[in-house]
Amino acid sequence: MRKMMMGSASTLSSFIVLLALMMVFSATTTLGWNVTYDHRSLIIDGQRKLLISASIHYPRSVPAMWPSLIETAKRGGIDVIETYVFWNGHEPSPGNYYFGGRFDLVKFLKLIQAAGLYSILRIGPVVAAEWNFGGVPVWLHYIPGTIFRTNSTNFESHMESFTTYIVNLMKREKLFASQGGPIILSQIENEYGYYEPSYGEGGKKYAMWAANMAVSQNTGVPWIMCQQFDAPDTVINTCNSFYCDQFTPIYKDKPKIWTENWPGWFKTFGSRDPHRPPEDVAYSVARFFQNGGALQNYYMYHGGTNFGRTSGGPFITTSYDYDAPIDEYGLARQPKWGHLKDLHEAIKLCEHAILNGVLTNISLGPLQEAHIYEDETGKCSAFIANMDDQSEKAVSFRNLSYVLPAWSVSILPDCRNVVFNTAKVTSQTSIVEMIPTKLMPTVSSPERNISSIQWEVFEETPGIWGKADFVTKGLVDHINTTKDSTDYLWYSTSVFVSRDEEFLQTGNQPILIADSKGHATHVFVNGQYIVSVSGSGSDSKFKFEKSIPLKAGENEISFLSMTVGLQNAGPFYEWVGAGFTSVKLEGFNSGILDLTSNVWKYKIGLEGEHLNIFKEDAMQNMKWKSTTNPPKNQTLIWYKAIVDAPYGDDPVGLDMISMGKGQAWLNGEPIGRYWPRTSSINDNCVSVCDYRGKFLPDKCDTGCGDPTQRWYHVPRSWFRPSGNVLVIFEEKGGDPTKISFSRRRVTGACGFVSEDYPSLKNTLKEQKSSSSNRASLQLICPDGTHISSIKFASFGTPTGKCGSYRQGACHDPLSMTSVKQACLHKKECRVVLSTGNFDMNLCPSSVKSLAVEAVCS
Ligand code: GAL
């Protein structure tokens, strides 16, 4: 009986426990996570969190890539995926919303959630982001009385409607953390603090209005405003820069959040290729967490592609690769990705102590300092930094000596052992190649010659094709006319030349002198192509003087004026115009002929655009003419070819080096603008990048004199196995027969480690007991390949970089044998710098290193 009673008592208590558990469970599933913050960090369900976040913009890749991008970020030690919301992609015309394909925001967020990651939603909805018109729909500019980003009723009401639309969508899909979803923070506006002074009182009011409007949305998670120097207490103000360790939030109760750490930079057509060295990115992140940082976001972690006409500008390239840890094509960029992964692991080992410990900051020298965090359990973690941008420095810390390379931070999760130093990259360098693959024709009938592509072409008529859209006196603004429905606007005027003009006799052609606000133009006289002129990323305006052939009687002067992405940031940016402002002719008997106020005819867009000939359903258009020998170096021509998908599943780039300027589509999907415009050979490029010292976008440029962009990403998911329709519109002339696909592949891997490199791979316990020879080198080949040969291996004092390593004065002759033994025919291998593998007694006075270059196939 007693037993029974006890039994029923325990049944009762289990029942109560179960009930309590069910209540907790239903509370977390219905109420979700409680996201708050204090001065130290975000607090999720009562726990302080140190968070590493990564920007991946959903429309800059395709849904088929999202799972692997998110997974690669997660493997890289990322906790949070951050994205802007792209208003002009979602509301193409007033009140018409679009969330399909690359704009399926809900799907993107649900994938993040499924991967177990958090998300930050930067709604903006003004976002800059090198995105067309900064993300705001162009139509909004043409609603009379609208001024962006100030207390303009029209602007505020549209901004509020869109923000509310997005918030409601998120709520409906239960995507806020407060509902159990992944979104832990939302952002309103973007870096408005820089521009607010230009808008005077209206700007101040607008900033406060934006914050209040956001907070009143009741998302249940905090709102942030980045670079907003007067942000109200109801939101958290955050920092954007290459370094944010010295940033302090306005209010003492707010955590230190870094919304944009730029691990590289964007490119503009005609400029060079910027790179930020991994050592410096890691340094900036380590310094941030050393100095009390709570959440850091890489802008961008995957930059991706500005497909179609989405790139902002002017002149932002179609590639938005950004030198980011995941490259445009979705491959981990090594060593950057791996070095940051190691950094994240090291920082996470310190998380509890740095978020909950007591901080002591001590100086270790004029430019050296240690931050020590000790928590209540006695756990101690430390960051020791050498801010000297020239020299390494030996410092003494807690009675031990540490050598700190210049401009570096060492991380000591136990205040004793260094597991990571920002300047010592142990991660492999991958050798990535673009392997050319000829365009292969799709064989639809056995008679067809399979070795040559069957081309179809359609030629545009230079000048006003068909009927002019309108005729008026004077020159109009390009953007006000096209409203960005196309890049192209024809300007055309007639000039009468009388028989007694002297230049008809002397042969001294008159000079055409023109000024344009931008962005680029092709000039035609009487249907004949004369010249192409364009502005640049630093100044979109241009002017030109060019002699032109005029005949007696009527002459037609036509400009194909072009925009190359609309302005995406700056005060009153929506008013920046484009197109011609003055046109003159010099060399007439009467002197200068001013054509500015002539009667001009205008035509918006190209005939091919009007016919939608790049779209799949318009493919059978009668305008196309078949040829096996497509014209070369011809202006204003559309090309079409039916091609097979390149072999395998490597990411694909379209090689447009043989072409001039234009746009491309595959199966009706917009690949984007192409323009192999070269940067100047005289620009400042570096062969070796010195990571030491403050980084600026132009510090470590490469590619001087090369085309800024040669390859254009064509997502694999856009291809069918065969019968793919490639359409190219070429403006100024190229050779389409030389267009090819390239497969992007990792074909090799290099590694370089020194005896004194720290290793995360050994646990702290192992480190204490093991000898000092613990550094190791790891090589990994992509799936489906293995290490097929070792090109170089030297343990000793090798020099050089991946692709050009050389033996030094000190070299262990058994290096190659040991490396081969460990690595050959394997997908991945790790070589430890230890006596079993190498002669560790070699040249005892030098620090020895192992350098390896392996081939993956
Ligand atoms: C920031 C801006 C971002 C992006 C970045 C440069 O100022 O907030 O949207 O434009 O610069 O890539």
Domain total in the chain: 5
Q: How far apart are CA 475 and CA 563, in angstroms?
A: 16
What pLDDT, on the 0 to 100 scale, is given for residue 26?
45
Tell me whether residue 558 is in a domain: yes
**pLDDT for position 616:** 80
Residues 498, 561 share a domain: yes
796-811 pLDDT, tens per residue?
Answer: 999 999 999 999 999 9
Give 312 Cα–ligand 1 centroid separation in angstroms.
11
Question: For a pocket test of ligand 1, which of 191, 226, 321 has the largest count of ligand atoms closer than 8 A to its C-beta?
Answer: 191
Written as one letter, the residue type at 510 is P
- Ligand 1 probe mutation, 60, 83, 126, 130, most atoms within 8 A of CB: 130
Q: Residue ranges of the alpha helices (H) in 327-413?
A: 336-349, 351-356
- The Cα–Cα gap between 513 and 294 comes to 57
Condensed to tens digits (0 to 9), the pLDDT of residues 485-500 reads: 999 999 999 999 999 9
Closest ligand 1 atom to Cα of 129: 9
- The whole-angstrom separation of Cα 501 and Cα 827 is 77
- Considering the domain architecture, whether residues 402 and 524 belong to the same structural domain is answered as no
Q: Give the CA-trace dihedral at 496, 501, 505, 511, to 10 degrees.
A: -70
How does DSSP assign 671-729, residue by residue? EEEE--PBPPTTS---SS----S---TTTT-B-TTSBS--EEEE-GGG--SS-EEEEEE
The SS3 assignment for 402 reads strand
CATH number, position 844: 2.60.120.740
Could you give the 3-state DSSP secondary structure of residue 534?
Answer: strand
Which H or E element spans position 121? strand 118-124
Q: Which of 631, 629, 709, 720 is nearest to 664 (CA)?
A: 709
Nearest CA to ligand 1 atom 3: 129
> What confidence score (pLDDT) does residue 683 get?
87
pLDDT exceeds cutoff 70 at 331? yes
447 has pLDDT over 60: no
9 within some domain: no
Element (H, E) at 139: helix 138-141
pLDDT attached to residue 13: 54
Do the Cβ atoms of 295 and 288 come closer than 8 Å? no
Q: Is the pLDDT of residue 1 over 90?
A: no
Q: Please report, for the domain that includes residue 549, its CATH number.
A: 2.60.120.260
441 CA → ligand 1 middle, Å: 42
Residue 8 within a domain: no
Residue 282 inside a domain? The answer is: yes
Instruction: Give the residue whose CA is nearest to atom 4 of ligand 1.
Output: 129
Query: Can you give the CATH number for the domain in which 108 is found?
Result: 3.20.20.80
Distance from the alpha carbon of residue 648 to the mean position of ligand 1, in angstroms? 36
Q: pLDDT averaged over the chain? A: 94
Residues 683 and 750 in one domain: no
**Strand 711-714 to 652-655 pairing:** antiparallel
Which of 579, 605, 631 is at the close of a domain? 605
Going by alpha carbons, the residue nearest to atom 9 of ligand 1 is 129
- Which whole number is the average pLDDT over 648-662? 97
- Structural domain contains residue 18: no
**CA-CA distances (angstroms) from residue 819 to 11, 426, 693, 849?**
63, 16, 35, 13
Whether 182 and 194 share a structural domain: yes
> Whose Cα sits closest to atom 10 in ligand 1?
129
CA 597 from chain center: how many Å?
43
Residue nearest to atom 6 of ligand 1 (CA): 129
For residue 5, what pLDDT is reported? Answer: 36
555 in a structural domain: yes
Residue finishing a domain among 605, 634, 663:
605
Domain at 414, CATH number: 2.60.40
Average pLDDT over residues 731-740: 97
Residue nearest to atom 5 of ligand 1 (CA): 129
Say which residue the tokens 């309108």 belong to.
Answer: 470
Tokens of 318: 């179609």
Length of the chain measured in residues = 857
249 and 344 in a single domain? The answer is yes
What is the Cα Rg of the chain in Å?
31
Q: What is the pLDDT of residue 759?
A: 79
Identify the weakest region by mean pLDDT among 8-22, 190-204, 225-239.
8-22
Owning domain of residue 715:
431-460+610-738
Write out pLDDT tens, residues 595-606: 999 999 999 999
Domain membership flag for residue 11: no
Residue nearest to atom 12 of ligand 1 (CA): 129
Q: What is the pLDDT of residue 16?
A: 53
User: Binning pLDDT at 50, 70 and 90, where does residue 8 land?
Assistant: very low
Residue 449 domain flag: yes
Q: Which atom of ligand 1 is nearest to the CA of 130?
A: 10
Around ligand 1, the residues with Cβ closer than 6 Å are: 127-130, 190-191, 240, 260, 266
Place of tokens 């030690």: 77
pLDDT band at 641 (very low <50, low <70, confident <90, very high): very high
Secondary structure (3-state) at 153: helix
* pLDDT confidence of residue 97: 98
481 and 411 co-located in one domain: no
Same domain, 165 and 268: yes
Residues 327 and 219 in one domain: yes
Q: How far is CA 635 from CA 31, 270, 732, 782, in A?
A: 62, 21, 4, 42
Give yes or no for residue 259 having a pLDDT over 90.
yes
Stated as kind and residue range, the H or E segment containing 20 is: helix 2-26
Q: What is the 3-state secondary structure (H, E, C) of 768-836?
A: HHCCCCCCEEEEECCCCCCEEEEEEEEEECCECCCCCCECCCCECCCHHHHHHHHHCCCCEEEEECCCC
Q: What is the pLDDT of residue 281?
A: 99
Q: 540 with 640, same domain?
A: no
* Percent of the chain residues past pLDDT 70, beyond the cut: 93
C-alpha 299 – ligand 1 centre gap (Å): 8
pLDDT of residue 444: 52
Could you tell which of 55, 131, 271, 299 is best to mutate to test the pocket of ligand 1, judged by most ligand atoms within 8 Å of the CB? 299
pLDDT at 770 over 50: no
Asked if 429 contacts 749 with a C-beta cutoff of 8 angstroms, the reply is yes
Strand ranges, E, within 357-407: 358-365, 368-374, 380-386, 393-397, 400-404
- What pLDDT is attached to residue 314? 96
Residue indicated by tokens 């799907």 = 107
pLDDT of 619: 59
Residues 225 and 336 grouped into a single domain: yes
Closest approach atom of ligand 1 to CA 226: 8
Residues identified as active-site: 191, 260
Boundary residue ending a domain (605, 624, 642): 605
87 with 200, same domain?
yes
- In the reported structure, the alpha carbon of residue 691 is separated from the centroid of ligand 1 by a whole-number distance in angstroms of 22
pLDDT digit string (tens) for 334-349?
Answer: 999 999 999 999 999 9
| Model pLDDT, residue 313 | 86
Q: Which atom of ligand 1 is nearest to the CA of 191?
A: 8
What was the pLDDT predicted at 7?
40
Shared domain for 198 and 261, answered yes or no, is: yes
Atom in ligand 1 nearest the alpha carbon of residue 84:
9
CATH number at residue 652: 2.60.120
The pLDDT of residue 768: 44
